[in-house]
C-alpha cells in the first residue's frame, strides 16, 4: 500500500516550501518533520491543549486538526516567525522572558502564537481580557499566573514599538 | 567580588531557545535521515489471557520493518524476556510484580503493551498495529480499592487477597493512648486517582553507531543514568557502550522517574538490530492508559485528644491502590504514612497500610508523591478536632506544632529513603502567623457574616505540611574552566522545566566570581556525568545545587593556588571578580581565569597564541614533573554531595471559597501560601514552582480524576474529558510569603521546593468547602454535582 503523495507549496514565516505529503499528513507533522520547524509542539493531537497552535492567515489554528494539503495558499506563522527582523525577541517572546511566563516551554509556542493574534485584535487588553485570550490553551507548569502577566507586558512592549515606529 | 547572584531574581538563561522555538524535545531529535518510527499494540481489556497474537497481515505491509511480540524477545536479547526491573524492593513488598516489555500470555490493564511495530513513519506503524489480531480470554477485572479488598477476583492468581504489601510503623502505643484519651474521633477519608499529565508525553529515540559499537539514546526521562543502566542490562551491552542523553523535557511531575518503560528498551533494541535510528513518541491516549497514575487511597483514622485539642494518640489504617504492577515499590504509601504527620507531634502514632493490586494503570509518584493524601488525612483530623471542641482551627494546629527549639526533631519512624524521619529545621508557629495575616484569618468571620447578609456562602480553610526533600543517595557535579575563561558545569540529574540551567549557573558563578553568561550548565547527559540518581522528591536544588557548590569550590581552590604562584602572592590575598583573579588592593596585579586554565595544563603543542605560554620551553621547573604527583592537568573541580538524610521543607496554604447556593459551583476568592524552603536561590523560580503546584492542586481538588468503569476502561482518557485546569479554573492571584529557615544539612542551607505547591490542596479545599457548607467533606476531588448531592444528603439527615 503505497501512499499517494501530493506536491504542495506551504508558505511559512514568509518562506515558500515545496513538499510532497500524503493527504492524511497533519499540518503539525508537516511543519515539524517535513520542514524541520520543530518549535510547534504536539501535546494532545485532538485540538484541546493548544500547544500546536499556529497562525493561518493571521488566525490561531490547531495545526494538529488541519491537514497539510489544506494549508496550501495560506500564510502560516509559527513560533519561529515571532522574532523581529533583526532576530531579537518579538514583543510576546520578550514579555514571556521578563515575566517568567514559561517553565518547561512545551506549551509556550502555542500560547505565544495565540497571544500574537489576540493582541492584533485587542492591543490593550484588561487583565480579564488577557485571561480570555489564553483560555483555550493548557499549561501544566506555570499555573498561568505569569502567562497572564506576559500578555499584559507584551501589550506594553507592542505599544512602545508602535509608538517608536510612528514618525 | 562580583555581585552575588544567589537569592536574586535572575532571568532564565534557557528561555532564549524555548522562546525562539529552538528547544530540543525528544520528538525534535533528528537522529538521521533513515529514522524509523514505532507504534505499540495495547490491550483493550483490563484483564485477559493473551491466547494468540496474529501478525501475518502486518509483515507484508509496505513500509513495515519489524513486528515483535513476547515470543520474539528471548531470541532478540535474552534478558528482554524477563520481567521489567523492580526498581525499589522493600522487605514488606512480599508480592511485587512487574510487567514484561511485551505481554507474556496475560494483560492486567487496558493499555498494557502487547506488540511493537517499527515502520517508515508513525502513520504506517499505526496502520500496522491496526492489522494485528489477538485472541483473548477475558478474565474478571479488579477495579478500585473496594474490589481489590473484597478479593472476589484476583489480579495475579498467585497474589492472595490482591495484597502486594502490608506495612506497619509505630512510635509509642497508639491504641492504648487513644483508649485512655478524654476524647476520641474516627474519620473515613478518600482521595481518588489523578495523574501528572505533562504536556509532553513519553518518548525515546535511539541510534546504534556501528562504527564505534555504541548506542546513543535520547529519552524524555527524569533519570538518564537509570535508563542507561537498564538498557545496558536488557540489551546485553556494556555500560560503556550506552550513552543516554536527556534532551529538553516538556514536564515530568514524577511520571518520568519510572523506568525503563517497555518502549525505552524496545526502541534501542530495534535501533541496534535494524541498524537504523528508531523513534517512539506516545500520543495523549497512550499517556493516559500506559504510563502511570497516582493518589488513590482510602483511610480510616482514630484519634485521641485532650480537652485543649492536643493529640494523644493517632491510629491510621489505609489502603493504597497501586494498579497492576509495582515497579516503583512502596515509595508512595511509605511517604503517605510518614509525611502524614506534617508539622505536628502526634502523641503515640501507629500507621498500617495495605498496598493493593487492581487491573488499572500502575501507580508511581506524581508531584507530592503520597503527601497530598497524608496531608488531607491529618488536616481533616485537625479540623474535626477543632469542630468537636468548638475551637479555632488555627489554634488547635498551633497547639500541636513541633516548636522551633525542638529541632532536630525525630518522629521515630523510617522515611522513604530508609533513614530516620528526623526534621532538620523549621519554624511552624512563625509560618502560621504569616499565613493568618496573609489570608486575613482573624477578619474572616466578619467577612463571612457580611457575605451571608447578601445571601452568599463563603468558607475558609487552611492546611499545613512538611515535605522531606533532597533525599539521597547522592548527586555529583563537574566544573571545568576552559581556556576562554568560560565555565562548563555538568550534573547528572535531569531537567523538566525547573530552570536548572539558571539556578545552577547562579551557584557556580558566585563561587568562581564569573559573570552568569560565562557559565553553561548541562544536565542529564551520561557522557558528561555518568554518576547520578535523578530528578524527583524536590531534590535537584538541594542535591545538585550542593554538589555544584562543592565542585566549583574545588575548582576555585585550584584557581587560587595557580594564581598565587603566578602572581607571587598569598592565596588569602586574592579575589576573583568578573573572571579575573587579582591581589586585593592591587588590581594591576591580576590574571584572567582563562590564562590560569592555560597554565593548569602543561602542553607540548600550542594551539593558539595564548597556549604558547604553557608549552615545555616556556613553563615548569625542569627538576620536577610537569604535573605534580598530587595534582592533575586542567582547571576542573569534581565533587559529590551525599547527605545523611533528607532536609524538611514546610508550608501552609489557606483558601477562601464561595459556593453557589443553587448550582454548588465552587469559586476561589483568595489563595494564600506561606512557604519555607530554606534559602532561596532564585525567588522568581521558586514562586513559579508554587504557582504551578497550586494549579495542579486545584485540578486535583476540584476537577481531575481517573474515571474507570467497572470493566476497567478509562472513560476519560483525553484532554476533552480529563479536566485539567485552564487559566479560567485557577485563582486570579496567589499571595505568597516566604520564610527562610536554612537547612543545617547542606552548605547553602537550601531545601526543595518543586512539589510543595500541590501538597495541601485537597486538604485546604475540603476545609474551606466544609466551612462554607456546614458539613464535613471527606472525599476528594469534589465536583459541583457531588457537592449538590451532599447538600441533599445532609438536608435529609441532619448530622
Q: What is the CA radius of gyration of chain B?
A: 28
- Determine the Cα–Cα distance for residues A96 and B616; give it in Å rounded to an integer: 52
Residue B622 belongs to some domain of the structure: no
Give the closest of A97, A106, A107 to B15, CB-based.
Answer: A97
Residues B261 and B399 in one domain: no
Contact flag A93-B20 (C-beta cutoff 8 Å): yes
- Determine the Cα–Cα distance for residues B580 and B592; give it in Å rounded to an integer: 4
- Quick check: A160 pLDDT over 60? yes
Residue B744 belongs to some domain of the structure: yes
- Determine the Cα–Cα distance for residues B408 and B418; give it in Å rounded to an integer: 18
What pLDDT digit, counting tens, does each position of B275-294 carry? 999 999 999 999 999 999 99
Residue B403 belongs to some domain of the structure: yes
C-alpha dist (Å) from residue A140 to A145, B251, B727: 12, 8, 11
Minimal-distance CA residue of chain A relative to B725: A138
Q: Which of B562, B553, B538 is nearest to B477 (CA)?
A: B553
Residues A106 and A160 in one domain: yes
Residues B407 and B444 in one domain: yes
Residues A57 and A96 in one domain: no
Beta bridge pairs of residue B378: none
**Set of cell numbers at residue B780:** 476528594
Helix A145-165 × helix B683-702 angle, to 10°: 120
Residue A98 belongs to some domain of the structure: yes
Contacts of A46 in chain B (CB under 8 A): 284, 718-720
Contact flag B251-A141 (C-beta cutoff 8 Å): yes
**Set of cell numbers at residue B103:** 505481554
What is the number of structural domains in chain B?
3
Give the closest of A32, A36, A146 to B688, CB-based.
Answer: A146
**Set of cell numbers at residue B133:** 489480531
Residue A86 belongs to some domain of the structure: no
List strand residue ranges (DSSP E) for B439-486, in order.
Answer: 457-469, 475-481
Residue B19 belongs to some domain of the structure: no
- Quick check: B799 pLDDT over 70? no
Residue A43 belongs to some domain of the structure: yes
Core vs surface per residue B122-143: b (16+ CB within 10 A) or e: bbbbbbbbebbebebeebebbb
Within 10 angstroms of residue B246's Cβ, the number of other Cβ atoms is 30
Beta bridge pairs of residue B183: B305
In degrees to the nearest 10, what's the CA dihedral of A143, A146, A149, A155? -110
Residue B721 belongs to some domain of the structure: yes
Residues B662 and B757 in one domain: yes
Residues B427 and B467 in one domain: yes
Residues A95 and A75 in one domain: no
**Set of cell numbers at residue B158:** 498467585
pLDDT at B798: 57
% of chain B with per-residue pLDDT over 90: 95
Within 10 angstroms of residue A167's Cβ, the number of other Cβ atoms is 2
Residue A17: CATH number of its domain: 3.10.20.30
What pLDDT digit, counting tens, does each position of A58-71 carry? 999 999 999 999 99
Q: How far is A44 from chain B (nearest CA, A)?
A: 5
Residues A106 and A161 in one domain: yes
Give the closest of A1, A32, A136 to B62, CB-based.
Answer: A1
What is the number of structural domains in chain A?
2
Q: How far is B458 from chain A (nearest CA, A)?
A: 23
Q: How far is B723 from chain A (nearest CA, A)?
A: 10
Confidence of residue B1 (pLDDT cuts 50, 70, 90): very low
- Determine the Cα–Cα distance for residues B357 and B95; give it in Å rounded to an integer: 10
Of A45, A60, A81, which one is at a domain's C-terminal end? A81
Residues B422 and B562 in one domain: no
Contacts of B250 in chain A (CB under 8 A): 41, 43, 104-107
Q: pTM for the complete prediction?
A: 0.96
**Set of cell numbers at residue B425:** 529545621
B718 touches chain A (CB under 8 A): yes
Residues B454 and B483 in one domain: no
Q: Which of B500, B497, B491 is nearest to B524 (CA)?
A: B491
Cβ–Cβ under 8 Å, residues B546 and B655: no
For every residue of B598-651, DSSP letters joined together read: HHTS-BSS--STGGGGGBTTTSS-TTS-SS-TT--SSSEEEEEE--SS-EEEEE
Q: Which of residues 23-82 of A touch B (CB under 8 A)?
A: 24-25, 32, 36-46, 48-49, 51, 78-80, 82
Contact flag B19-A142 (C-beta cutoff 8 Å): no
Q: Which of residues 124-163 of A touch B (CB under 8 A)?
A: 127, 131, 134-148
Q: How far is B167 from chain A (nearest CA, A)?
A: 34
pLDDT at A167: 64
Which residues have CB under 8 Å from B134's CB, separation 6+? B41, B50, B51, B52, B53, B54, B114
- Which residue's C-alpha cell is 513519553? B202
Q: How far is A133 from chain B (nearest CA, A)?
A: 10
Cβ–Cβ under 8 Å, residues B379 and B778: no
Residue A107: CATH number of its domain: 1.10.150.120
Give the residue numbers spanning the domain of B107: 31-139+196-290
Give the residue numbers spanning the domain of A32: 6-81
Helix H, strand E, coil C: the string for B154-182 is CCCCCCHHHEEEEEEEEECCHHHHHHCCC
- Quick check: B321 pLDDT over 70? yes
- Determine the Cα–Cα distance for residues B253 and A142; give it in Å rounded to an integer: 12
Confidence of residue A165 (pLDDT cuts 50, 70, 90): confident
Helix (H, G, I), strand (E, B) or coil at B758: helix
Residue B280: CATH number of its domain: 3.90.1170.50
Contact flag A104-B693 (C-beta cutoff 8 Å): no
Burial zone of B667 (CB within 10 Å; 0-12 exposed, 13-18 middle, 19+ buried)? exposed
pLDDT at A74: 95
Contact flag A135-B691 (C-beta cutoff 8 Å): no
Residue A29 belongs to some domain of the structure: yes
Residues A114 and A52 in one domain: no
Residues B105 and B216 in one domain: yes
Of B272, B290, B308, which one is at a domain's C-terminal end? B290
pLDDT at A161: 87
Between the two ends of chain B, the Cα-to-Cα distance in Å is 67
Within 10 angstroms of residue B609's Cβ, the number of other Cβ atoms is 7
**Set of cell numbers at residue B785:** 454535582
Contacts of A40 in chain B (CB under 8 A): 21
**Set of cell numbers at residue B445:** 468571620
Of A27, A57, A81, which one is at a domain's C-terminal end? A81
Q: How far is A140 from chain B (nearest CA, A)?
A: 6
In degrees to the nearest 10, what's the CA dihedral of A38, A40, A44, A47? -150
Residues A54 and A111 in one domain: no
**H or E element in which residue B548 lies:** helix B540-567
Mean pLDDT of chain B, nearest integer: 96
Residue A159 belongs to some domain of the structure: yes
- Which of B14, B15, B16, B19 best probes binding to A when mutated, by most A CB atoms within 10 angstroms? B19
Contacts of B27 in chain A (CB under 8 A): 32, 38, 42
In degrees to the nearest 10, what's the CA dihedral of B540, B689, B248, A10? 180
pLDDT at B59: 86
Contact flag A135-B284 (C-beta cutoff 8 Å): no
Beta bridge pairs of residue B249: none
Contacts of A38 in chain B (CB under 8 A): 21, 24-25, 27-28
**Set of cell numbers at residue B650:** 514546610
Residues B484 and B569 in one domain: yes
Of B615, B641, B667, which one is at a domain's C-terminal end? B641
- Determine the Cα–Cα distance for residues A80 and A59; give it in Å rounded to an integer: 16
What pLDDT digit, counting tens, does each position of B13-24 carry? 999 999 999 999
Angle at B778 between CA B774 and CA B779, to 5 degrees: 125
Q: How far is B366 from chain A (nearest CA, A)?
A: 13
Residue A1 belongs to some domain of the structure: no
Contact flag A141-B62 (C-beta cutoff 8 Å): no
Q: Which of residues 89-118 of A touch B (CB under 8 A)?
A: 89, 93, 96-98, 100, 102-109, 112
In degrees to the nearest 10, what's the CA dihedral of B328, B160, B195, B494? 10
Minimal-distance CA residue of chain B relative to A127: B732
Residue B710 belongs to some domain of the structure: yes
DSSP-derived letter for residue B585 is T
Residues B679 and B774 in one domain: yes
- Determine the Cα–Cα distance for residues B702 and B667; give it in Å rounded to an integer: 10
Give the closest of A80, A103, A143 to B730, CB-based.
Answer: A143
- Quick check: B241 pLDDT over 90? yes
Helices and strands (H and E) in chain B: how many: 20, 29
Confidence of residue B621 (pLDDT cuts 50, 70, 90): confident
What pLDDT digit, counting tens, does each position of B359-401 carry? 999 999 999 999 999 999 999 999 999 999 999 999 999 999 9
Residues, chain B = 799
Of B584, B612, B641, which one is at a domain's C-terminal end? B641
Confidence of residue A131 (pLDDT cuts 50, 70, 90): very high
Contacts of A143 in chain B (CB under 8 A): 691-696, 730, 734, 757
Contacts of B728 in chain A (CB under 8 A): 131, 135
Give the closest of A134, A138, A143 to B692, CB-based.
Answer: A143
Residues B546 and B665 in one domain: no
Sign of CA dihedral B576, B578, B582, B587: negative
Q: What is the CA radius of gyration of chain A?
A: 16
Of A81, A101, A132, which one is at a domain's C-terminal end? A81
What pLDDT digit, counting tens, does each position of B561-620 carry? 999 999 999 999 999 999 999 999 998 899 999 999 999 999 989 999 888 888 888 888
Residues A13 and A66 in one domain: yes
Residue B382 belongs to some domain of the structure: no
Residues A35 and A17 in one domain: yes
Indicate whether this complex's ipTM tops 0.90: yes
Using DSSP bridges, classify how beta strands B183-191 and B106-107 pair: parallel, antiparallel or unpaired.
Answer: unpaired
Contacts of A102 in chain B (CB under 8 A): 15, 18-19, 497
What is the average pLDDT across B89-101? 98
Residues A23 and A77 in one domain: yes
Query: What is the number of CB-based contacts under 8 A between chain A and chain B?
Result: 170
- Determine the Cα–Cα distance for residues B442 and B529; give it in Å rounded to an integer: 52
Within 10 angstroms of residue B10's Cβ, the number of other Cβ atoms is 20
Confidence of residue B797 (pLDDT cuts 50, 70, 90): confident
Mean pLDDT of chain A, nearest integer: 96
Residues B491 and B451 in one domain: no
Give the closest of A97, A137, A140 to B251, CB-based.
Answer: A140
**Set of cell numbers at residue B150:** 473484597
For every residue of B12-24, DSSP letters joined together read: PTTHHHHHTT---
Residue B451 belongs to some domain of the structure: yes
Q: Which of A1, A8, A47 is nearest to A25 (CA)?
A: A8
pLDDT at B635: 97
Give the closest of B123, B199, B727 to A43, CB-based.
Answer: B199
Minimal-distance CA residue of chain B relative to A136: B726
For every residue of A107-137, DSSP letters joined together read: SHHHHHHHHHHHHHH-SS--HHHHHHHTTT-
Residues B551 and B421 in one domain: no
Distance of CA A7 to the CA centre of its chain: 25
Q: How far is A51 from chain B (nearest CA, A)?
A: 8
Minimal-distance CA residue of chain A relative to B718: A44
Residue B741: CATH number of its domain: 3.30.365.10
Amino acid at each position: 500500500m503505497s501512499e499517494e503523495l501530493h506536491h504542495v507549496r506551504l508558505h511559512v514565516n514568509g518562506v515558500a516550501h515545496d513538499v510532497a505529503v500524503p493527504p492524511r499528513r497533519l499540518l503539525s507533522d508537516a511543519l515539524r518533520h517535513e520542514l524541520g520547524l520543530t518549535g510547534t509542539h504536539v501535546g494532545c493531537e485532538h485540538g484541546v491543549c493548544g500547544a500546536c497552535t499556529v497562525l493561518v492567515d493571521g488566525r490561531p489554528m490547531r495545526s494538529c486538526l488541519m491537514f497539510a494539503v489544506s494549508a496550501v495558499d495560506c500564510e502560516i506563522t509559527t513560533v519561529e516567525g515571532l522574532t523581529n527582523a533583526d532576530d531579537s525577541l518579538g514583543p510576546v517572546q520578550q514579555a514571556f522572558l521578563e515575566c517568567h511566563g514559561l517553565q518547561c516551554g512545551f506549551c509556550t509556542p502555542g500560547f505565544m502564537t495565540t497571544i500574537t493574534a489576540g493582541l492584533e485584535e485587542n492591543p490593550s487588553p484588561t487583565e480579564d481580557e488577557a485571561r480570555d485570550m489564553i483560555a483555550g490553551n493548557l499549561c501544566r507548569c506555570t499555573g498561568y499566573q505569569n502567562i497572564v502577566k506576559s500578555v499584559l507586558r507584551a501589550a506594553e512592549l507592542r505599544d512602545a514599538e508602535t509608538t517608536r515606529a510612528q514618525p | 567580588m562580583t555581585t552575588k547572584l544567589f537569592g536574586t531574581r535572575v532571568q532564565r538563561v534557557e528561555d532564549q531557545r524555548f522562546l525562539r522555538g529552538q528547544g530540543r524535545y525528544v520528538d525534535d531529535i533528528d537522529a538521521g535521515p533513515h529514522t524509523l518510527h514505532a507504534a505499540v499494540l495495547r490491550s483493550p481489556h483490563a484483564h485477559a489471557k493473551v491466547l494468540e497474537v496474529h501478525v501475518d497481515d502486518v509483515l507484508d505491509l509496505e513500509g513495515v520493518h519489524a513486528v515483535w511480540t513476547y515470543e520474539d524477545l528471548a531470541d532478540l536479547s535474552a534478558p528482554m524476556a524477563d520481567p521489567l526491573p523492580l526498581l525499589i524492593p522493600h522487605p514488606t513488598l512480599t508480592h511485587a510484580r512487574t510487567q514484561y516489555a511485551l505481554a507474556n500470555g496475560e494483560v492486567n490493564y487496558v493499555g498494557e503493551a502487547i506488540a511493537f511495530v517499527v515502520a517508515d513513519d508513525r502513520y504506517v506503524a499505526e496502520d500496522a498495529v491496526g492489522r494485528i489480531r489477538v485472541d483473548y480470554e477475558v478474565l474478571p477485572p479488579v477495579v478500585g480499592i473496594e474490589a481489590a479488598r473484597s478479593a472476589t477476583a484476583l489480579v495475579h492468581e498467585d497474589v492472595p487477597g490482591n495484597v502486594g504489601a502490608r506495612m506497619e510503623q509505630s512510635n509509642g502505643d497508639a491504641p492504648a493512648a487513644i483508649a485512655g484519651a478524654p476524647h476520641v474521633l474516627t474519620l473515613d477519608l478518600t482521595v481518588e486517582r489523578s495523574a501528572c499529565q505533562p504536556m509532553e508525553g513519553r518518548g525515546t529515540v535511539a541510534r546504534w553507531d556501528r562504527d564505534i559499537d555504541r548506542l546513543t539514546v535520547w529519552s524524555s526521562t527524569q533519570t538518564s543514568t537509570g535508563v542507561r543502566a537498564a538498557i545496558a542490562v536488557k540489551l546485553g551491552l556494556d555500560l560503556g557502550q550506552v550513552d543516554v542523553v536527556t534532551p529538553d523535557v516538556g514536564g515530568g511531575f514524577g511520571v518520568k522517574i519510572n523506568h525503563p518503560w517497555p518502549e525505552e528498551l524496545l526502541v534501542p533494541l530495534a535501533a541496534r538490530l535494524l541498524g537504523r535510528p528508531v523513534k517512539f513518541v506516545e500520543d495523549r491516549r497512550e499517556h493516559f492508559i500506559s504510563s502511570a497514575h497516582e493518589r488513590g487511597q482510602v483511610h480510616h483514622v482514630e484519634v485521641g485528644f485532650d480537652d485543649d485539642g492536643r493529640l494523644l494518640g493517632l491510629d491510621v489504617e489505609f489502603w493504597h491502590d497501586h494498579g497492576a504492577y509495582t515497579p516503583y515499590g512502596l515509595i508512595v504509601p511509605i511517604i503517605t504514612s510518614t509525611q502524614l504527620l506534617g508539622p505536628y507531634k502526634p502523641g503515640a502514632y501507629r500507621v498500617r497500610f495495605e498496598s493493593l493490586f487492581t487491573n488499572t494503570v500502575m501507580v508511581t509518584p506524581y508531584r507530592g508523591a503520597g503527601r497530598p493524601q497524608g496531608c488531607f488525612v491529618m488536616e481533616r483530623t485537625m479540623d474535626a478536632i477543632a469542630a468537636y471542641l468548638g475551637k479555632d482551627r488555627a489554634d488547635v494546629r498551633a497547639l500541636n506544632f513541633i516548636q522551633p527549639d525542638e529541632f532536630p526533631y525525630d518522629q521515630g519512624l523510617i522515611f522513604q529513603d530508609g533513614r530516620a524521619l528526623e526534621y532538620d529545621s523549621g519554624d511552624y508557629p512563625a509560618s502560621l502567623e504569616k499565613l493568618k495575616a496573609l489570608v486575613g484569618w482573624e477578619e474572616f468571620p466578619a467577612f463571612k457574616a457580611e457575605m451571608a447578609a447578601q445571601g452568599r456562602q463563603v468558607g475558609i480553610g487552611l492546611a499545613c505540611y512538611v515535605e522531606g526533600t533532597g533525599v539521597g543517595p547522592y548527586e555529583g557535579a563537574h566544573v571545568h574552566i576552559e581556556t576562554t575563561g568560560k565555565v562548563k558545569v555538568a550534573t547528572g540529574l535531569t531537567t523538566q522545566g525547573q530552570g536548572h540551567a539558571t539556578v545552577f549557573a547562579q551557584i557556580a558563578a558566585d563561587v568562581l566570581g564569573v559573570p552568569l553568561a560565562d557559565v553553561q550548565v548541562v544536565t542529564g547527559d551520561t557522557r558528561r556525568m555518568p554518576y547520578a540518581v535523578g530528578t524527583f522528591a524536590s531534590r535537584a536544588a538541594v542535591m545538585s545545587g550542593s554538589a555544584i557548590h562543592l565542585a566549583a569550590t574545588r575548582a576555585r581552590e585550584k584557581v587560587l593556588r595557580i594564581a598565587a604562584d603566578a602572581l607571587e602572592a598569598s592565596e588569602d590575598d586574592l579575589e576573583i571578580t568578573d573572571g579575573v583573579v587579582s591581589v586585593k588592593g592591587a588590581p594591576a596585579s591580576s590574571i584572567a581565569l582563562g590564562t590560569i586554565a592555560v597554565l593548569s595544563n602543561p602542553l607540548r603543542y600550542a594551539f593558539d597564541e595564548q597556549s604558547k605560554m604553557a608549552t615545555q620551553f616556556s613553563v615548569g621547573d625542569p627538576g620536577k614533573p610537569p604535573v605534580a604527583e598530587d595534582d592533575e592537568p586542567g582547571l576542573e573541580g569534581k565533587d559529590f554531595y551525599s547527605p545523611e538524610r533528607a532536609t524538611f521543607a514546610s508550608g501552609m496554604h489557606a483558601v477562601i471559597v464561595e459556593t453557589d447556593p443553587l448550582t454548588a459551583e465552587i469559586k476561589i476568592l483568595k489563595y494564600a501560601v506561606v512557604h519555607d524552603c530554606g534559602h532561596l536561590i532564585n525567588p522568581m523560580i521558586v514562586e513559579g514552582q508554587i504557582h504551578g503546584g497550586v494549579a495542579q492542586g486545584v485540578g486535583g481538588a476540584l476537577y481531575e480524576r481517573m474515571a474507570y468503569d467497572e470493566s476497567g476502561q478509562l472513560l476519560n482518557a483525553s484532554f476533552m474529558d480529563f479536566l485539567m485546569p485552564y487559566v479560567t479554573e485557577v485563582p486570579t492571584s496567589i499571595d505568597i510569603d516566604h520564610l527562610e529557615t536554612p537547612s543545617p544539612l547542606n552548605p547553602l542551607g537550601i531545601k526543595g521546593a518543586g512539589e510543595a505547591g500541590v501538597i495541601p490542596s485537597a486538604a485546604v479545599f475540603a476545609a474551606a468547602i466544609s466551612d462554607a457548607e456546614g458539613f464535613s467533606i471527606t472525599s476528594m476531588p469534589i465536583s459541583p454535582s457531588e457537592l449538590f448531592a451532599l447538600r441533599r444528603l445532609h438536608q435529609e439527615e441532619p448530622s
